[in-house]
Amino acid sequence: MGIAKALFGELGRVAEERECGRMDWAVLKRNQPSINFYEKALGAFGMKEWEGRSLETKGIKGLRRFRVSDAT
């Protein structure tokens, strides 16, 4: 068994223990070998209704301006 299958096997066990209803992760669109693995070996599928978003260092630091105490 390869490292990827072992890793996803462990993730699956943890997800079941925590009663997760879904697992999501990101893969570059150009990384076809990984996409093929996720689909064929794991049965994973692409999400048609969801689109990913990211924050890098500057954006993460910018989050500090939002405070729970300011929520309405």
pLDDT, tens digit, 9 for 90 and up, residues 24-46: 999 999 999 999 999 999 999 99
SS3 29: coil
Q: What is the pLDDT of residues 5-17, one digit of tens each?
A: 999 999 999 999 9
Name which of 49, 39, 48, 44 is nearest 12 in CA terms.
44
35 in Cβ contact with 47 (< 8 Å): no
72 vs 3, residue with greater confidence: 3
Q: Per-residue pLDDT for 72 more than 80?
A: no
State the pTM of this model.
Answer: 0.73
